[in-house]
Amino acid sequence: KPILVPILGDQLSRTLPSLSGRTKDDTVVLMMEVWDEATYVKHHKQKIVLIFSAMRHFAAELEDAGWTVDYVKLDAADNAGSFTGEVARAIERHDPRAVHVTEAGEWRVQQAIEEWPDKFDCEIEILPDDRYICAIPEFRDWAEDRKTTRMEYFYREMRKKTGLLMENGDPMGGKWNYDHENREPPKNSMDAPQRPLFEPDAVTREVIALVENSFGDHFGNLGSFHWPVTSEEAEETADAFFLERLPSFGQYQDAMVFGEDDLFHSMLSTSINLGLLDPLDLCRRAEKAYLDGDAPINSVEGFIRQIIGWREYVRGFYWLHMPGLQETNELDAHRPLPDFYWTGDTDMRCLSDCIRSTHDNAHAHHIQRLMVLGNFALLAGIVPQDVEDWFLVVYADAYEWVELPNVAAMILYADGGKLATKPYAASGNYINKMSDYCKECAYSPSVKTGEGACPFNPLYWHFMVRNRDRLENNPRVGRVFSTWDRMSEERRAEYLDSAEAVLDGLEPAKAGWARD
Ligand code: FAD
Ligand code: DLZ
Ligand code: SF4
């Protein structure tokens, strides 16, 4: 009897623990395209194409390498529509002596897997996913008994653990973090190199047709699908990044330019999250670029921090705070998501450009997600669950374990400050400084209230005033209220009235975009 090895859509790694220890002659790999996964939220069309195409390519590679793969397509007759239903059918088909599965990335799926031992009359082995640098219990131990569980301290532990950018126990260059060098505004004419764009092959084209047919009402554009769908294409994207973009990655990490969708970012998150690239290997390559003198320390340290710091940290944070993180709403935000997040129909040029990129590419870079799309949702007091659904739907790299901490805790402060020391709230000044958006916007960042005012300006004060009780004692925010208190009563009323006018003008999203 064989061992059945189900491989989920974000487990496309040859080193996957449930696969790497197996022998080909007594293993059946099971891969399943299932309706439940494609529709628990109505994912961007490109996200579904990416996952199905990458799954199909991975299955073909395994078969070429001599593995037996039982691949269930979405439109296969009798597809049960769920992982559990398909594993049940596969147990019938193959009569395995055991099922070996690597733990799921998402809490929702892991809950279902943990029911398998009771459901199936077959031995079930659930293996920890060792494709991360920090195991879930290790993060829990680290977080326990600590007064402050900030990312920066966790990151230093990961530097020590991996030895990345370390020299005799000290950080290379003398500092742990070079973030203050990574905040340069864009230059007038930014000439970022084009990343490799992959034309859809026959496999991807077949999936595109399937997705148009089955998920035609989902958000997003398919005409511009160029994501890497194999580890080879992902490596090509990584090669181009290390060669052409890493040197400027740090400097322009927070810059935003109208119509420039990736600038000097790596565009590797979709491939890392699918399992096509190994995150530690990427960090070692970045470190080598520094040691060889091909990239400056601020770029290399910044890139490594995003991966062994933020990426690992949010995963640990997710598992530490689930399932509560889905429900948390400490700032008591209650406004529905504005419709323009789906349509892009707004005169705010920063938001409309970020939403266009999101619609066309299933991508927006970090600072767009944080300081434009996130900042607006924070200031306007959008209900966290609406914002979470939106971010989970629209990005090709979105899985709940990475999306939810970034949205609930990082941008919305809905966890009450476990992750961030203060809300990332900013007025139009910040966006004006870090982008070229404002020059041709219908609004002006220097107009603070009334006609023509950048909506971020009055909303900033409305947010602060509404949350004064919660934020006033935070030493990193407190001073803001002294500024407010020094304003004349008339000025304060202008700010609040302007903000109310913006908020009253927000049309709530129509039902059916994120969920049926
Ligand atoms: P780069 O800028 O080149 O960064 C390199 C890598 O670092 C990324 O590929 C990613 O793996 C990692 N990374 C960077 N920042 C983060 C972070 N905050 N959390 C986790 N990993 C990080 N990333 C996702 O992978 N999936 C998501 O669903 C997701 N949702 C986000 C939602 C919000 C509100 C915010 C503010 C950030 C979110 N991020 C998410 C993090 C980040 O925006 C993306 O990883 C990044 O934009 C991907 O593009 P890139 O590969 O070019 O990244
Ligand atoms: C996101 C996604 C989608 C859209 N569809 C599938 C699918 O049909 N089959 C599959 O194996 N995985 C899919 N995924 C990715 C899963 O949701 C992902 O593996 C979970 O996040 C694991 O926790
Ligand atoms: Fe965005 Fe305000 Fe600048 Fe317009 S003026 S682009 S709304 S920050």
467 lines ligand 1 (CB under 6 A): no
Measure the CA–CA gap between 502 and 69, rounded to whole angstroms. Answer: 55
Lowest mean pLDDT among 191-195, 352-356, 479-483: 191-195
pLDDT digits (tens, 9 = 90+) for 392-445: 999 999 999 999 999 999 999 999 999 999 999 999 999 999 999 999 999 999
Rounded mean pLDDT of 256-260? 95
Decide if 3 contacts 97 (C-beta within 8 A): yes
Q: How much is the ipTM here?
A: 0.99
Decide if 71 contacts 79 (C-beta within 8 A): no
Please report which helix (H) or strand (E) contains residue 6, including its range: strand 3-6
Q: What is the pLDDT of residue 291?
A: 98
Decide if 308 contacts 391 (C-beta within 8 A): no
Residue 147 has pLDDT above 90, yes or no: no
pLDDT digits (tens, 9 = 90+) for 307-328: 999 999 999 999 999 999 999 9
Which residue CA neighbors atom 10 of ligand 2 most closely?
9
Which pairs with CB-CB distance under 8 Å and at least 24 residues apart come from 162-166? 162/133, 162/280, 162/283, 162/308, 164/283, 164/284, 164/287, 164/304, 164/308, 165/287, 165/290, 165/297, 165/300, 165/301, 165/304
pLDDT band at residue 92 under the 50/70/90 scheme: very high
Rounded mean pLDDT of 221-240? 97
Residue 329 has pLDDT above 90, yes or no: yes
Residue 226 has pLDDT above 80, yes or no: yes
Q: What is the pLDDT of residue 60?
A: 98
C-alpha of residue 325 to centroid of ligand 1, in Å: 19
Residue 478 has pLDDT above 90, yes or no: no
Q: What is the pLDDT of residue 164?
A: 98
Residue 148 main-chain phi, psi, to 5 deg = -120, 125
Please, what are the domains in the chain? 3-127 (3.40.50.620), 136-201+225-321 (1.25.40.80), 340-504 (1.10.579.10)
3-state secondary structure 140-151: HHHHCCCCCCCH
C-alpha of residue 8 to centroid of ligand 1, in Å: 21
Query: To the nearest whole number, what is the mean pLDDT of the chain?
Result: 97
397 lines ligand 2 (CB under 6 A): no
C-alpha of residue 373 to centroid of ligand 2, in Å: 25
What's the burial of 377, exposed, middle or buried (CB within 10 Å: 0-12/13-18/19+)? buried
Q: Which of 378, 406, 407, 411 is the pocket-test mutation for ligand 1 (most atoms within 8 Å of CB)?
A: 406
pLDDT band at residue 190 under the 50/70/90 scheme: confident
Nearest-atom number in ligand 3 for the CA of 431 is: 8
Q: Which residues contact 106 (CB under 8 A, 6 or more apart)?
A: 399, 400, 401
C-alpha of residue 373 to centroid of ligand 3, in Å: 12
Task: Bin 368: left if φ > 0, else alpha if -120 < ψ < 50, else beta.
Answer: alpha
Q: What is the pLDDT of residue 191?
A: 80
